């Protein structure tokens, strides 16, 4: 892979094919996660305070990610030796063993994924890419170096996309504790007169509830 600077990928784009060195050996992406979701997250640098808290937070929730058929993989422009020493420090001092791989990037991966902010030197920003089993970018979060990520929101977003895909529904704000709908999901709005009539008929039959024909919701079947 050439060290060519590219822009931030768009939602729906295919994750670019690349071979990367990680703390768990060489990996080919996205092939290594075929059939699974994966979260690739970049951090500015090893041995930095906010990044250390983030890695601990990701690791303590790793089982929850895996329960959603999702793997984690970190990245920064650091040598693999730095990653390994940092992992060792976290285990020795925080009693947390990092189990997911961390990419040791020369800058090629970061440039390909648009992770280098021109005003921040060579450090990578705090980006999060949620990639589906088809190898497509589905969600992208982009944080400044100064702000640590909220892992619960990443898990919520991952689960929400899986629910949306599986049930062909939309997900309301703050789901699953939305102020009006609680854990219910939104039926996609009608886009034709026929569908509008169909929405009204199904609502009348009790298949779902509506505030109006364009805002219908239903209970998620378990």
pLDDT tens digits, one per residue of 171-218: 999 999 999 999 999 998 888 999 888 888 888 998 899 998 889 999
Catalytic residue from among 51, 70, 210, 216 = 51
Task: Parse the chain into domains and list their residue ranges.
Answer: 18-149, 168-222
What is the value of pTM for the model shown? 0.91
Residue percentage of the chain with pLDDT more than 70: 94
The per-residue pLDDT for range 43-66, each reduced to its tens digit, is 888 999 999 999 999 999 999 999
Asked if 210 is an active-site residue, the reply is no
Q: Which residues contact 1 (CB under 8 A, 6 or more apart)?
A: 16, 18, 19, 108, 109, 112
* Measured distance CA(45)–CA(61) in Å, rounded: 21
Top-tier CATH class for 18-149: alpha beta
* Measured distance CA(22)–CA(27) in Å, rounded: 7
* Domain boundaries 168-222, corresponding CATH code: 3.30.1020.10
């Amino acid at each position: 892979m050439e060290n060519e600077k590219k822009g931030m990928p768009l939602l729906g784009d295919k994750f670019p094919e690349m071979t990367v060195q990680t703390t768990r050996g060489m990996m080919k992406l996205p092939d290594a996660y075929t059939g699974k979701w994966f979260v690739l997250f970049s951090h500015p640098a090893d041995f930095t305070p906010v990044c250390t808290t983030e890695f601990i937070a990701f690791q303590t929730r790793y089982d929850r990610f895996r329960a959603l058929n999702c793997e984690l993989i970190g990245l920064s422009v650091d040598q693999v030796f730095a990653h390994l020493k940092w992992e060792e420090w976290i285990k020795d001092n925080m009693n947390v063993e990092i189990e997911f791989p961390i990419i040791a990037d020369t800058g090629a991966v970061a440039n390909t994924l648009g992770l280098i902010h021109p005003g921040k030197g060579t450090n990578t920003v705090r980006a999060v890419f949620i990639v589906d089993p088809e190898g497509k970018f589905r969600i992208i979060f982009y944080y400044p170096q100064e702000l640590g990520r909220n892992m619960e929101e990443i898990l919520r977003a991952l689960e929400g996309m899986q629910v949306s895909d599986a049930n062909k529904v939309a997900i309301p704000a703050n789901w699953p504790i939305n102020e009006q709908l609680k854990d219910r999901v939104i039926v996609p709005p009608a886009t034709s007169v026929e569908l509008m009539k169909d929405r009204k008929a199904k609502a009348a039959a009790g298949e779902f509830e509506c505030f109006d024909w364009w805002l219908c919701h239903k209970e998620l079947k378990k």
